[in-house]
Structure 1
């Protein structure tokens, strides 16, 4: 379980949208290969710019 940063209610860690308040989570990434920073509304496994593996950034 994780806590929604907007409504502070518990939600399943696999959800990209809070079932209580409807806010879509935004995830921040920095690619170790191309060193670009970007935000995504879902969990990414690969960098959209250079296709590098981002799984080491998942909690």
Structure 2
């Protein structure tokens, strides 16, 4: 579970929008291979720059 930054309610991990208030969720990643910091509005499985696996880096 994650907390919506707008309404502060818990929501299921991986949702693109909060089901309570409708805000678009933004997820942050840091690629271990190329060290690029990435913000995405959904779950990323691979780094868009170097194609490294990001599946274990959700936060």
TM-score, normalised to structure 1's length?
A: 0.81
Higher helix residue share: 1
| Contact 2:30 2:37 (C-alpha < 8 Å) held by counterparts | yes
Q: Please report the TM-score for the alignment, with normalisation by the length of structure 2.
A: 0.81
Q: Is 1:45 aligned to residue 45 of structure 2? A: yes
Question: How many residues are matched?
Answer: 59
Per the TM alignment, residue 28 of structure 1 is displaced from its structure 2 partner at its CA by: 1.0
Unaligned runs of 5+ in 1: none
Superposed CA RMSD: 1.6
Unaligned runs of 5+ residues in structure 2 are: none
Runs (4+) off by over 2 Å: 9-14
SS at 2:17's partner residue? coil
